[in-house]
Structure 1
Amino acid sequence: MRELIVLVDNTSSVARVVEFAKVVYGFGVKNLVLTHVYGSAAQQGVPEAFKISLKYSSSLIILPTIRDALDLFKPDHVLVIRRPSPQVKPLTDFINIDGRVMLAVDGSDQDIRVEGSNVSYVTPVKYDIGNIGQLTLALCTLMGGCLNVQHQGSTQGL
């Protein structure tokens, strides 16, 4: 069985905090952790994200650092979303991972660094589509069966 926790680090944008919250809770994840939130994101984004968490009967945890989140949640595995590169593994390598899994992403489209023996750097897609897009595809991959697509005819030329 897998328990998924999403961590978003380093954001100052109200809109990004709200978008991350919508994506995370929309996929049914119950725990969203925000670390290093500052500026208007801390003043206005956090209260908005909290309202969204209440709507989904989920929790929003605000902590100063990634280390605090790791110490508090003690995940079995930490999957850090990164831009595609030769050092980054495909997320599909971890599709059957069990236990307490923390999925970490940077809130400002940078690459974050997380230290630990249980840390793997992953990417859900081979394109650099930004971290909200990366997180969305990662959750879709890990949650399984989230696409509602019907194929009709040829897609050639699209």
Structure 2
Amino acid sequence: MYIALYAPSSVQKLLDFLKTIYSVENTVPVIIKPFGAAAQVGVPEAHRLSYKLGKPLIILPELRDLRSILNCESIYYLGEEGVEVELDSVLSEALGRKTALVINSGEQEPSRKELEDVKVIWPIDIPRGISATALTGVIAYKLYHALREK
């Protein structure tokens, strides 16, 4: 399963995302469209961290590359305007499949064109307005438990 961070500009937010995702087995972090300091300083730091931990890291320029390059069957974008769903059901459906869960960094929204063929959702049991870092932690926690039950 791929967990992606969309358009980060903060180095710290990028590194916090990676450290959180690396705490859960069988997940691959993807950074999509980094810009600013995250692109210039954060990406090299992210590669250093992934190499040091012996973990994978994927950097992509566009959201659509999840499907065209990684061959994801399903892509879920967590957006506050999305359809409310049970996160546990999405995660259990996604486990063992080529699925990507995309978290917005909070710094730049994807265009409507970028979201074509992407399911825009919001977990019903998570308050809207939560930061990307906190949302990543909740997803990691739920994934950890879903993997233990499997």
User: TM-score, length-normalised on structure 1?
Assistant: 0.76
1:72 maps to 2:69: yes
Aligned counterpart for 1:49 among listed residues 46, 50, 68:
46
Q: Deviations over 1:56-99 (max 9, x none)?
A: 3222122211112221111122222233x673222123242141
Give the gaps of 5 or more residues in structure 1: 147-158
Cα drift, residue 143 of structure 1: 2.7
How many residue pairs get matched? 141
Give the gaps of 5 or more residues in structure 2: none
Q: Is the 8 A contact 2:47 2:57 kept in 1?
A: yes
Aligned counterpart for 2:98 among listed residues 90, 97, 100:
100
Counting only pairs closer than 5 Å after superposition, residues 8-157 of structure 1 correspond to structure 2 as 8-83=5-80, 87-97=83-93, 98=95, 99-108=97-106, 112=110, 114-116=115-117, 119-123=119-123, 125-127=125-127, 128-144=129-145
Greater fraction helix: 2
Query: Identity of aligned pairs, percent?
Result: 23
User: TM-score, length-normalised on structure 2?
Assistant: 0.79
Q: Deviations over 1:82-135 (max 9, x none)?
A: 33x67322212324214112111112266656321x635132633132111112
Report the AA paired with residue 66 of structure 2.
A
- Give the RMSD, CA atoms, in angstroms: 2.4
Q: Is the 8 A contact 2:22 2:55 kept in 1?
A: yes
Stretches of 4+ aligned residues off by more than 4 angstroms: 109-113
Q: Which has the higher contact order (CA 8 A, sep 6+)?
A: 2
Structure with higher Rg: it is 1
Name the SS for the 2:121 alignment partner.
strand
